[in-house]
Homo-oligomer: A and B are copies of this chain.
Amino acid sequence: MSTEMSYTETRRDSVCEGLNTDVTEGPPPLSDEVRNEQDLRLAATYVNDARNGCRGNFKSDPKSVRLYNLYNQPAFFWTSHVAVGVLISLVLFEDPAVPSIRLDYWITMCVELLCVGLIFSRLAHQGVFSSEENFWRSKRRLPFLIILLLTLVDMVLYVILSEIGVTSVRFSRPLRPLLLLCMDRAKQLRAVFKNILLTLPDIITVLTLFLLSVAFFALMALKIFQNRRNLVNYSDGQPYMHNYLDTFFHLYVLVTTANFPDVMMPAFDYNAWFTLFFIIYLIICLYLFMSICLATIYNNFKEHLKEYVEDSVREKQDNLQLAFDILKVETGHGEKLLPKSRWMSLMRTVHPSRLDLEHSLLWDVLANKHTGYISKSEFFHVANLLDIQVLEVKDREPEFQRWFPRCYTSKASRLIRKTVANSCFSRFFRYFIDLAVVANAVCIALDEEDFEWFFMALFVFEILLKFYVFGLKKFFHSAMNMFDFVLIVAALVINVLELAWTSISNQTGALDFLLVLRLLRLVRLVYAIERFRIVLKTISSIGRSLLTYGGVLFVFFYIFAIIGMEAFSGKIIPEPVLANRTQNQPILCGNPKLNGTQFAMNRYCNNNFNDILHSFVVLFELMVVNQWHVLAEGFVAVTHQAARIYFIVYHLLVVILVLNIFSAFILELFMLEYTMSKEPAERRESIIERRITVMGLDEDESTYLNDLENEETDTNIRGGRRPGQSPAMRFRLPRGANKVEELLQKMYEIEREEDKSDV
């Protein structure tokens, strides 16, 4: 039956074939009733790909599918990721290494070779299950291979050169973080980099114009102050704006505001009206151009974000389409739908560990009540549905209920549970605990250590009470409870250890840690206030994506750190014994060239590129921008004027480009949250969530109290739970869309629905 397709179906299939080869050619014709294992596995693979949001370019023959599933096995997956991680962290041990953990070059070389081999084998694995054209079509395969090959060439060259006594540069090291971009699950990281690349043309226009203005003002400043060469000077007698390149650099630094108002003061002292030059310059180049940079980046970002979400949704649907095409059967009415039997087989393949009951529940949610089948459009929701956590009843029962059922359901216990869960009492209880937290903080601030044990006991009691009433699972579901628990347990452990070994109580490290733990309890208070909670929720919803931007920054930091270490390592050495120095001896950071520089005067000796950790700190300081010109001038003093280029390029790339993209991201996210909150509630939740809510299968705070009351009336018929009232399993719907990705996709779906209703 499935070979007889309507014209449109054939066309769509052929499109899919173009994307994923050999879908309909490969498998032999099958009977209607018994789909064989292989087809189910293929469909399950597509469903998993849809859930993971990736497109595995595997051939559809059984062997390739098996290899592809093997490829996605956690063991294989993590091995290659760990290899990349180790490769990247090798920089800690290679020269210039972090002093205490330096390793000889042959050790790091061996580890590097092993890692490259592992990563290469991962790539080879891909090559086996991908068709050749698909393998090379993916834009990240070729750079991936090239980086690996370059690393090998570099290693061989380095070994040869170092054997014949020539010091050489490991040129492949800055390329290492790019391997991160080529990893399978680094989709969002790649998206940000693609976004940066796509934004470049527009931003280059603005930046060129900006640099031209700087050049123009520099020429003006040079000419104006050349005429007053003898009248205007820096306070240390240095000439003021005396050559073009210096003037340009000073004015560039001025845009970052790092040398303001110092760079203006000599002119200001000479004649107050010269401040106008600097004010006009700052208004044009700082306030205007930098705002325009942000606007351009935001504009581009918004557009490309939409494209990215569209691509993600399309990819997901392509995968589900392929799975559906394999599974569908033709019903009496000539429609192609998915019957329950095949659904159950599919689910058993996708989730072999779960119960049939759960698969059946999912079917109830997805399937059309009237036809008893799942249509294609309903099947498209399967990826979202599978991501919703399903709780069994026994998961929802507090542990005490299972362990001591009689005690737990006793009258006294029920009273306690009701009062704790009851909103009115729980509020007073919370206020009391909050008050205790404040009192605790005040005690810490006043160094009153006496009450510490009392507070500790109170907080432990609170947690135990919550354990008893809500059960462990429910308790740990709340991130705030988890946070409390970790703080208290850690503090408890340290306190006990402190009692046991008094030597620890003198170790400041442990004390600091304890202090931070105690103070962190204050975060609870902020969470207790509604207005703040909204902001905090937005921040926590950003959380995961912050990691993506952290990754982007890491790539930039790593590349610049390696280049910086090659150029500047060992040039600046921190002076170890600062206390013993006499007052008159100037600090030189181990390099006489630094004499008289602001760098040495500010005692910036620790800001060096001597190992990767120090390099990261310096790069962070450069990112924060303030005093970056002092840092730059320090490194220029010990090397060459050209070193300024390194610092300017870093500023342009990281501060102007990446940080503005980060700002654009937060802006867009806020606008999104805001737009979503304006949408009516029923549009905000997806179709699946709506169905679950309508069917009463969702689990939330209110269900707990309901259950409590049900229990009270039903104590007699325990064990024989009334059907329908308290279903055996419940979905835990994500309240207030946690992931940005999901938020974006929902947003996109709302827009698409609007577009449809317009047509």
Residues of A within 8 A of B (CB): 205-206, 208-209, 212, 216, 219-220, 223-224, 227-228, 235, 244, 257-262, 265, 268-269, 272, 275, 279, 282, 286-288, 291-292, 294-296, 298-299, 302, 441, 444-445, 508, 511-512, 515-516, 519, 522-523, 526, 531-532, 534-536, 538-539, 542, 574, 578, 602-604, 606-607, 613-614, 617, 620-621, 624-627, 659, 662-663, 666-667, 669-671, 674, 758
Asked if B606 contacts A512 (CB within 8 A), the reply is: no
Instruction: Report yes or no: B291 in contact with A535, Cβ–Cβ below 8 A.
Output: no
* Inter-chain contact B602/A288, CB cutoff 8 Å: no
Residues of B within 8 A of A294 (CB): 663, 666-667
Cβ of A626 and Cβ of B624 under 8 Å apart? Answer: no
CB–CB B299/A522 < 8 A: no
A666→B291 contact, CB < 8 A: yes
Residues of B within 8 A of A441 (CB): 219
Pair A624/B286 contact, Cβ less than 8 Å: yes
**C-alpha gap A538/B515 in the complex (Å):** 53
Rounded to whole angstroms, the CA-CA distance of A208 and B530 in the bound complex is 13
Residues of B within 8 A of A523 (CB): 216
Instruction: Give bound CA distance, A257 to B279, whole Å.
Output: 21
Complex Cα distance, B666 from A298, in Å, reads 11
Assembled-state Cα–Cα distance A532/B205 (Å): 7
7 contacts between A and B (CB under 8 A): A216-B519, A260-B621, A260-B624, A261-B627, A275-B617, A286-B624, A302-B671
User: Is B625 a contact partner of A257 (Cβ separation < 8 A)?
Assistant: yes
Shortest Cβ distance from A291 into chain B, in angstroms? 4
Contact B539 A670 (CB under 8 A): no
Q: Cβ of B604 and Cβ of A512 under 8 Å apart?
A: no
Question: What chain B residues lie within 8 Å of A671 (beta carbons)?
Answer: 295, 298-299, 302
Residues of B near A574 (CB, < 8 A) are: 269
Residues of chain B contacted by A228 (CB below 8 angstroms): 508
Bound CA–CA A620/B281 (angstroms): 12
Which residues of chain B come closer than 8 Å to A606, judged between CB atoms? 265, 268-269, 272
CA distance in complex: A624, B263 (Å): 13
- Whether A674 contacts B299 in the complex (CB less than 8 A), given A292-B539, A538-B292, comes out as yes
Are B604 and A666 in contact, with the CB atoms below 8 A?
A: no
| Shortest distance from the beta carbon of A561 to any chain B beta carbon, whole Å | 15
Cα A531 to Cα B298 with chains together (Å): 19
In the bound complex, CA of A674 to CA of B542 (Å): 27
A601 to B621, CA, bound (A): 24
Contacts of A667 in B (CB 8 A): 291, 294-295, 298, 667
CB atoms of A670 and B292 under 8 A apart: yes
Q: Are A235 and B603 in contact (CB under 8 A)?
A: yes
Q: How close is A470's CB to chain B, nearest CB, in angstroms?
A: 28
Query: Which residue of B262, B295, B663 contacts A627 across the interface (Cβ within 8 Å)?
Result: B262
Q: What copy number does this chain have within its complex?
A: 2
A697 to B295, CA, bound (A): 37
Distance in angstroms between the alpha carbons of A330 and B298 in the assembled complex: 53
Complex CA distance for A512 and B265, rounded to whole angstroms: 19
Known: A205-B531, A209-B526. A603 touches B269 (CB 8 A): yes
CB distance from A56 to the nearest CB of B (A): 36
How far is B529's CA from A208's CA once the two chains are assembled, in angstroms?
Answer: 12
Is A445's CB under 8 angstroms from B539's CB?
A: no
A536 to B288, CA, bound (A): 11
Q: With A606-B269, A626-B261, A662-B287 known to touch, is A519 a contact of B220 (CB < 8 Å)?
A: yes
Contact (Cβ within 8 A) B227 A260: no
Nearest B residue (CB) for A574: B269
Please name all residues of chain B whose beta carbon is closer than 8 Å to the beta carbon of A617 when the two chains form the complex: 268, 272, 275, 279
Q: Which residues of B contact A621 (CB under 8 A)?
A: 260-261
Known: A627-B262, A663-B291, A670-B292. A209 touches B603 (CB 8 A): no
Min CB distance A201 to B, Å, is 9
Q: Which residues of B contact A536 (CB under 8 A)?
A: 209
A216 proximity list for chain B (CB < 8 A): 519, 522-523
- Residue of A206, A621, A627 with highest tally of chain B CB at under 10 A: A621
Nearest first, the 7 A-B pairs at minimum CB distance are: A295-B670, A291-B666, A257-B626, A261-B621, A260-B626, A205-B531, A295-B667
Please judge, given known A-B contacts A220-B516, A223-B515, A613-B272, whether A666 and B265 are in contact too, CB under 8 Å. Answer: no
How far, in Å, is A524 (CB) from chain B's closest CB?
Answer: 12
Known A272-B613, A441-B219, A617-B272; judge A292-B535 contact (CB<8 A): yes
Q: A519-B216, A670-B296 are in contact. Are A258 and B532 (CB under 8 A)?
A: no
Residues of B within 8 Å of A206, CB to CB, are: 535
Give the Cβ gap from A676 to chain B, nearest Cβ, in Å. 12
* A617–B273 CA distance with the chains assembled, in angstroms: 10
Question: Across the interface, do B620 and A279 meet the contact criterion of CB distance under 8 Å?
Answer: yes
Chain B hits for A219, CB < 8 A: 441, 444-445, 519
Q: List 14 other contacts, CB 8 Å, given A208-B532, A279-B620.
A: A205-B532, A209-B526, A209-B536, A244-B445, A259-B626, A260-B626, A261-B604, A265-B602, A269-B578, A269-B603, A275-B617, A294-B666, A298-B670, A626-B626
Write out the residue numbers on chain B whose beta carbons fall within 8 Å of the beta carbon of A511. Answer: 227
**A260 contacts across to B, CB distance below 8 A:** 621, 624, 626-627
Q: Are A212 and B268 in contact (CB under 8 A)?
A: no
Kindly provide the distance from the CB of A169 to the nearest chain B CB, expressed in whole angstroms. 26
Q: Which residues of B contact A620 (CB under 8 A)?
A: 275, 279, 282
Contact A603 B265 (CB under 8 A): yes
Q: Is the CB of A539 within 8 A of B288?
A: yes
Docked-complex contact B670 and A299, CB < 8 angstroms: yes
A348 to chain B, nearest CB (A): 45
Taking CB atoms, residues of chain B closer than 8 Å to A268 are 606, 617
Are B209 and A535 touching (Cβ within 8 A)?
yes
Min CB distance, A345 to chain B, in Å? 46
Q: Which residue of B lies closest to A265 (CB)?
A: B603
- The residue among A295, A302, A627 with the most chain B CB atoms within 10 A of its own CB is A295
**Bound Cα distance from A582 to B539, whole angstroms:** 56
Residue of B nearest to A519 (CB): B220
Give Cα distance in the complex from A535 to B206, angstroms: 7
Across-interface contacts of A627 in B (CB, < 8 A)? 260-262
Query: For A275, what are the chain B residues with a Cβ–Cβ distance below 8 Å?
Result: 617, 620
Q: In the complex the two chains form, is B666's CB within 8 Å of A295's CB?
A: yes
| Cα distance A603–B663 in the bound complex, in angstroms | 36
Give A621 Cβ to nearest chain B Cβ, in Å. Answer: 5
CB distance from A623 to the nearest CB of B (A): 9
Distance (Å) between the CB of A575 and the closest chain B CB?
9
- How distant is the Cα of A670 from the Cα of B206 in the complex, in angstroms? 13
Distance from A656 Cβ to chain B, minimum over Cβ atoms (Å): 14
